[in-house]
């Protein structure tokens, strides 16, 4: 990875750690390398959007030098002053974090039936059975022959 | 320009209608050529086995061409709506969710009912045999006997699992004393005609890599090709052409791989380019004989655009409901309010569909309602309270056709071949605003009955109150009718103004119903094809 991309990957790791903190059992974005994993996946348009958001946040050096609460404050300023840029950054980093195998492994340990990707295994679902057929008989339709003109003058 | 030998029937667009028509004609021995600007989308290309499937779905596999930007896409001039369109073999059925309800009898008789929309030139009963035939071709899974719909034959496949979210939705409807029924879907609940059963991966909105989900590409097109239909992909039609009398004689198209232009003449031409693409092509085909656009003597081409008034209501409970599993569109639905009741203060009705929520990334990003997980300290607690514990309700209302809701040619945007792109103008009628609000309230009723701890309503409005919906259903813009002054075609899809031209896709629909339209669209296409065969003397 080039130095520039490497720096961007590091920046994305740091931002992700503020958005989704590595507390408790939740894996760290930096340890998982979310940024480096994400960058090759982005199209130019999304990469440009990420770049624009990071530019607003300031340099990586400055961001890294700040404490966690100070980094949060920078993100809050971005969120209110450039909501579209922040929303794109947040959206993509949420996708990237929850695409990480250690995160999915944690979710499975916690009892969720979730795969890293929908295919090839899909999910098991119990087939529809006769016990589930509605029995109330509710529901109605108007036959062609019974369509009546409604008074709509008061609408 | 290279002139090609004339053919009997030229079909433009290989989507739901184009596929059904090409197949029916080819199987009857008609010489058919279909031009499709896109290509086949193989299962291996889809992102379902990629752990970044959610990122892919949001961008590279967005259902909107304005986000997706594939080579075969063209831009759509709008800053408000997010259209669902795909230029491919199968058309939009290559990325849709295969929801398969039928329009109801009153949907065809709105002028008789309240006169705020026109009648169709035929009734539900006229279309019924074609609904059944289309179900057999597509392999619809469902449960006959829905008391909210006319009696019908058994579906080819039993209903799909409704899952935990469907059970909760059903229990809620029952507690409210409302109708509910398992939702018909063109997705295999068991192996059917060489296509495997669904394995409930939940990622339908990027299409289906297994072909468990039916589109025209894996149902009608294999049959059409086996019967001798010719399908030319990468073939973008620039304009439909006429002779000096104004009768349609074929089309000019560009081969995207070579840039070469071709003139394909035909006895009959069928335009099936969807509710945005069809009026765009007709308008781009203006000539001396049709100065307002082909078949547009009525000035109706592009007008009366309908999308359905849509909203999403999402509910979260204390319980695991696994909304990432199963077909995304609908496990079950209620048609309790599908018919007009003027006591409510508006005409037309709506349906509420129990839908899924996609994977963890999507759920944290607000799923379909915009209920985004907070970042920072509260994120994990929000995750624990919400992930996998909710369900979505798609609120689907019938919108009125309004002449100012329309497709025109964009003054600035062009496609990659220099053709003017379409421009979309759409606003909700006051009737439809009231209807949508009432429908959202009923979806909230279901959410509360489900024991929701958190409910979020997405009315698809921006901070200025502008309605900015997903435009999944593209209808009305070259509608059928009985009067040439306010329609573009007759009831057999023949253009009033241009002999030998047929128009058949969602643009043909005079009203949109309160349900997903593709089942009705497919039936309509089969009926159109039957008419073409009669006109050809077959």
**Which residues have CB under 8 Å from B405's CB, separation 6+?**
B303, B304, B305, B306, B425, B426, B427
- Check CB contact under 8 Å for B55 and A134: no
Q: Measuring CA to CA, which residue among B10, B20, B9, B11 is closest to residue B518?
A: B20
Chain B residues whose CB is inside 8 A of the A22 CB are none
For chain B, the first-to-last Cα distance in angstroms comes to: 33
Proportion of chain B above pLDDT 70, given as a percent = 100
pLDDT tens digits, one per residue of B176-191: 999 999 999 999 999 9
Query: With 90 as the cut, is the pLDDT of residue A9 above it?
Result: yes
Query: With 60 as the cut, is the pLDDT of residue B376 above it?
Result: yes
pLDDT tens digits, one per residue of B197-229: 999 999 999 999 999 999 999 999 999 999 999
Higher pLDDT, A3 or B450: B450
Q: What is the pLDDT of residue B478?
A: 98
Q: What is the distance between the alpha carbons of residues B144 and B155, in angstroms, rounded to a whole number?
A: 7
Tokens of residue B476, six digits: 């009305």
Q: For residue A40, give the 3-state DSSP assignment.
A: helix
Whether residue B480 contacts residue B120, with contact meaning beta carbons closer than 8 Å, is answered with yes
CA of A3 vs chain B CAs: smallest distance (Å) = 24
CA of B226 vs chain A CAs: smallest distance (Å) = 30
Q: What is the distance between the alpha carbons of residues B457 and B449, in angstroms, rounded to a whole number?
A: 16
How many Cα neighbours within 13 Å face the side chain of B492? Answer: 12
Q: What is the pLDDT of residue B455?
A: 97
pLDDT tens digits, one per residue of A121-143: 999 999 999 999 998 889 999 99
Query: With 80 as the cut, is the pLDDT of residue A150 above it?
Result: no
Question: Is ipTM beyond 0.90?
Answer: yes
What ranges make up the beta strands (E) of B317-349? 332-334
In the structure, what pLDDT confidence band is assigned to residue A153 with cuts at 50, 70 and 90? Answer: low
- Check CB contact under 8 Å for B200 and A125: yes
Q: What is the distance between the alpha carbons of residues B443 and B311, in angstroms, rounded to a whole number?
A: 10
Q: What is the pLDDT of residue A155?
A: 58
Strands B350-355, B181-182: parallel, antiparallel or unpaired by DSSP?
unpaired
Q: What is the pLDDT of residue A151?
A: 65
Average pLDDT over every residue of B496-519: 98
Whether residue B380 contacts residue B425, with contact meaning beta carbons closer than 8 Å, is answered with no
pLDDT tens digits, one per residue of A46-79: 999 999 999 999 999 999 999 999 999 999 999 9
Chain B residues whose CB is inside 8 A of the A101 CB are 51
How many Cα neighbours within 13 Å face the side chain of B384? Answer: 9
Residue of A nearest to B190 (CA): A127
Q: What is the pLDDT of residue A154?
A: 56
Neighbour-count burial of B453, counting CB atoms closer than 10 A to its CB (0-12 exposed, 13-18 middle, 19+ buried): middle
- Check CB contact under 8 Å for A128 and B108: no
Instruction: Find residues 53-72 of chain B whose CB sits inside 8 Å of chain A.
Output: 53-55, 58-60, 69
What is the residue-wise DSSP string for B4-50? EEEEEEEEE--SHHHHHHHHHHHHTT--EEEE-SSB---GGGSSTTS
Strands B235-242, B454-458: parallel, antiparallel or unpaired by DSSP?
unpaired
Q: For residue B515, give the 3-state DSSP assignment.
A: coil
In the structure, what pLDDT confidence band is assigned to residue B463 with cuts at 50, 70 and 90? Answer: confident
Cα maximum dimension of chain A: 76
Q: What is the distance between the alpha carbons of residues B14 and B87, in angstroms, rounded to a whole number?
A: 8
Q: Does A57 touch chain B (CB under 8 A)?
A: no
Q: Does A105 touch chain B (CB under 8 A)?
A: no
Query: With 60 as the cut, is the pLDDT of residue B132 above it?
Result: yes
Query: With 90 as the cut, is the pLDDT of residue B528 above it?
Result: yes
Query: With 70 as the cut, is the pLDDT of residue B494 above it?
Result: yes
In the structure, what pLDDT confidence band is assigned to residue A6 with cuts at 50, 70 and 90? Answer: confident
Q: What is the distance between the alpha carbons of residues B491 and B482, in angstroms, rounded to a whole number?
A: 7
The 3-class SS string of B188-246 reads CCCCECCECCCCCCCCCECECCCCCECCHHHCHHHHHHHCCCEEECCEEEEEEEECCCC
Confirm whether pTM is higher than 0.90. yes
Q: What is the pLDDT of residue A4?
A: 73
Q: What is the pLDDT of residue A2?
A: 67
Average pLDDT over every residue of B464-474: 92
Proportion of chain B above pLDDT 90, given as a percent = 98
In the structure, what pLDDT confidence band is assigned to residue B80 with cuts at 50, 70 and 90? Answer: confident
């Amino acid at each position: 990875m080039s130095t520039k991309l490497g720096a961007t990957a590091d920046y994305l790791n740091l931002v992700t750690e503020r958005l989704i903190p590595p507390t408790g059992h939740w894996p760290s974005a930096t340890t998982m390398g979310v940024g480096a994993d994400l960058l090759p996946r982005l199209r130019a348009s999304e990469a440009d959007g990420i770049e624009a958001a990071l530019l607003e946040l300031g340099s990586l050096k400055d961001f890294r030098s700040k404490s966690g609460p100070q980094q949060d404050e920078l993100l809050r300023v971005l969120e209110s002053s450039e909501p579209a840029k922040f929303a794109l950054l947040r959206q993509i980093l949420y996708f990237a974090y929850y695409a990480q195998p250690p995160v999915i492994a944690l979710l499975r340990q916690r009892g969720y039936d979730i795969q890293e990707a929908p295919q090839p295994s899909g999910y098991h679902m119990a087939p529809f059975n006769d016990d589930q057929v509605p029995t109330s008989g509710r529901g109605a339709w108007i036959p062609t022959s019974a369509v009546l003109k409604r008074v709509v003058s008061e609408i | 320009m290279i002139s090609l030998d004339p053919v009997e029937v030229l079909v433009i667009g290989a989507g739901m209608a184009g596929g059904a028509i090409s197949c029916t004609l080819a199987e009857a021995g008609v010489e058919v050529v279909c031009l499709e600007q896109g290509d086949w989308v193989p299962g291996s290309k889809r992102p379902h086995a990629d752990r970044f499937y959610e990122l892919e779905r949001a961008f590279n596999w967005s259902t909107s061409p304005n986000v997706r930007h594939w080579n075969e896409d063209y831009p759509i001039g709008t800053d408000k709506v997010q259209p669902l369109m795909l230029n491919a073999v199968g058309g939009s059925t290559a990325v849709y969710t295969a929801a398969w309800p039928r329009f109801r009898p009153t949907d065809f008789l709105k002028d008789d009912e309240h006169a705020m929309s026109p009648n169709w030139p035929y009734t539900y009963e006229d279309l019924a045999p074609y609904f059944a035939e289309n179900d057999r071709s597509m392999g619809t899974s469902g449960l006959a006997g829905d008391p909210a719909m006319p009696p019908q034959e058994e579906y080819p496949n039993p209903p799909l699992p409704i899952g935990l979210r469907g059970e909760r939705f059903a229990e809620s409807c029952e507690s409210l004393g409302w109708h509910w029924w398992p939702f018909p879907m063109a997705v295999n609940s068991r192996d059917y005609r060489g296509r495997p059963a669904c394995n409930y991966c939940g990622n339908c909105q990027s299409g289906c890599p297994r072909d468990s989900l039916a589109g025209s590409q894996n149902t009608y097109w294999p049959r059409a090709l086996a019967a001798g239909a010719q399908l030319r992909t990468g073939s973008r039609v620039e304009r439909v052409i006429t002779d000096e009398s104004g009768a349609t004689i074929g089309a000019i198209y560009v081969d995207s791989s070579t840039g070469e232009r071709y003139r394909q003449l035909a006895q009959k031409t069928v335009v099936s380019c969807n509710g945005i693409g069809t009026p765009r092509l007709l308008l781009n085909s203006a000539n001396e004989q049709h100065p307002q656009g082909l078949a547009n003597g009525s000035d109706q081409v592009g007008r009366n655009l309908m999308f359905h008034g849509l909203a999403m209501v999402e509910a979260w409970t204390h319980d695991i409901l696994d909304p990432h599993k199963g077909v995304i569109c609908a496990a079950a639905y209620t048609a309790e309010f599908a018919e007009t009741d003027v006591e409510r203060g508006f005409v037309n009705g709506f349906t509420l569909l129990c839908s899924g929520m996609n994977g963890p990334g999507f759920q944290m990003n607000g799923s379909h309602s915009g209920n985004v997980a907070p970042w920072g300290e509260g994120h994990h607690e929000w995750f624990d309270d919400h992930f996998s514990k909710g369900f979505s309700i798609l609120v689907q209302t019938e919108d009125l056709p309004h002449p100012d809701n329309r497709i025109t040619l964009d003054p600035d945007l062009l496609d990659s071949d220099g053709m003017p792109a379409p421009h979309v103008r759409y606003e909700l009628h006051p009737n439809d605003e009231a209807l949508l609000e009432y429908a959202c309230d009923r979806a909230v009723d279901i959410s509360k009955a489900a024991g929701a701890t958190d409910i979020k309503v997405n009315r698809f409005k921006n901070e200025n109150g502008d309605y900015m919906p997903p435009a999944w259903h593209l209808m009305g813009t070259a509608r059928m009718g009985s009067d040439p002054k306010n329609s573009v075609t007759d009831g057999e899809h023949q253009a009033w103004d241009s002999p030998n031209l047929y128009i058949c896709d969602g643009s043909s629909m005079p009203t949109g119903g309160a349900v997903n339209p593709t089942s009705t669209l497919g039936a309509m296409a089969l009926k159109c094809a039957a008419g073409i065969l009669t006109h050809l003397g077959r």
